[in-house]
């Protein structure tokens, strides 16, 4: 990987042997290994049996989970907040494990829509709740630094499973409790992703 980075620097017109860039290939490899460490993660090891049987049936929410990921189209960062809720049937998951699940899937080459679904599907699979809701809101540098260059735009995606999909009141309660920034209406960012991929 370091040889590839040296060649990339040379192709960009730089001198890979100058003082400021001499250790850049090593640093880039280290950074990319960390930013894509989710590929090597095992969800069961991450959860570490932190699944508990409880008599609780109200909504559980972990909101404002910071995440950073890399857009698979341009390898540029996208980052923001993830909000996760579920309605237990008879088991709950340790609260600290939910941000860890977000990290596992965000530390891969991603598109926001797939990231949102993977988080929801994993929680649904592991604890079989009555419903799962995940909302992700993110700024994409592939939109703000290049391409359409819209610095103040952000994309919002959601995945609603079970009761959150079938019961409008439950869904609205969740959305009211997380109160999306700027009062943004929940919307699909499919057009955003398409624009990103085409440029």
What is the distance between the alpha carbons of residues 193 and 176, in angstroms, rounded to a whole number?
A: 26
3-state secondary structure 47-90: HCCCEEECCCCCCEEEEEEEEEEEECCCCCEEEEEEEEEEECCC
What is the distance between the alpha carbons of residues 80 and 190, in angstroms, rounded to a whole number?
A: 17
What is the distance between the alpha carbons of residues 102 and 65, in angstroms, rounded to a whole number?
A: 8
Q: Mind telling me the catalytic residues? A: 71-74, 112, 140, 142
């Amino acid at each position: 990987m370091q040889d590839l980075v040296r060649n990339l620097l040379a192709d960009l017109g730089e001198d890979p042997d100058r003082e400021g860039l001499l250790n850049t290939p090593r640093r880039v490899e280290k950074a990319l290994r960390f930013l894509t460490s989710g590929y090597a993660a095992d969800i069961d090891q991450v959860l570490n049996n932190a699944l508990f049987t409880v008599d609780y049936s109200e909504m559980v929410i972990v909101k404002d989970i910071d995440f950073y990921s890399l857009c698979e189209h341009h390898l540029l960062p996208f980052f923001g907040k993830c909000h996760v809720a579920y309605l237990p049937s008879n088991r709950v998951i340790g609260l600290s494990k939910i941000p860890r699940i977000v990290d596992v899937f965000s530390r891969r080459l991603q598109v926001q829509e797939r990231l949102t679904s993977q988080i929801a599907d994993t929680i649904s699979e592991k604890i079989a709740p009555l419903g799962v809701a995940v909302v992700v809101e993110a700024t994409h540098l592939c939109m703000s630094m290049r391409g359409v260059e819209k610095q103040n735009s952000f994309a919002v995606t959601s995945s609603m499973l079970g009761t959150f999909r079938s019961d409008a009141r439950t869904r609205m309660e969740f959305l009211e409790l997380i109160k999306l920034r700027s009062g943004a209406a929940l919307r699909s960012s499919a057009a955003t992703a398409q624009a990103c991929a085409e440029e």
